[in-house]
Amino acid sequence: MHAAALLVLTALPLQAQTDPLPDFGLDSAITCLAYSTVDVEQNPASAADRAQWMVFFARLVAAKSTEADVTAFPALFARELDFYRAPSYEEGTPATPAEVDEILTGTAKMCWYEALAAEGGPFYEG
C-alpha cells in the first residue's frame, strides 16, 4: 500500500499537465490502481506492462481527489486491495473460480476500455 500512496504523491505534479483526463470516476480509478497493484504482486513479470497503467491511474486519483478523498484514500485503496487479493471463490462469494475470473476480466476491461483507451489515456489513438 505504501508504494501506491507514493505513486499517488508522485503523480500530484502531473495534474498541471494539459492532457485531458478521461471522464472516469475516482472510485473506478482507485479500483483500477488496486487491480494493477495486485496483478504486479501476483505476477511480477507484469510489472513493466502495468507501470504505465499504475502511473495513469495514480494521476487520475490525484487529479480527481478532494482533500477529503486524499484522507480517505488509504482506507479505500486497502479495501480494493483486499478484494482483489482475496481468494473469493473459496469463501463462496462468488461461488466459483469462473465467477472470480469473470470479475477480474470485467475489471481489466473496464480499466482498459473506459480509461486507458479514452481520450487522454496512455493508449488513446486519434
- Convert the pLDDT of each residue in 94-108 to its tens digit: 667 788 888 888 888
Q: What is the pTM of this model?
A: 0.74
Higher pLDDT, 4 or 97: 97
In this predicted model, what pLDDT tens digit does every residue of 66-86 receive, in sequence order? 999 999 999 999 999 998 888
Specify whether the CB–CB gap between 112 and 16 falls below 8 A: no
Res 4: pLDDT: 47
Lowest-confidence range among 2-11, 41-50, 108-117? 2-11
Question: How confident is the model over 15-35, as pLDDT tens digits?
Answer: 444 456 677 889 999 999 999
Q: Do the beta carbons of residue 88 and residue 100 sit within 8 Å?
A: yes
Q: What is the 3-state secondary structure (H, E, C) of 20-44?
A: CCCCCCHHHHHHHHHHHHHHHHHCH
| Helix/strand/coil percent split, the chain, to 5 | 75, 0, 25
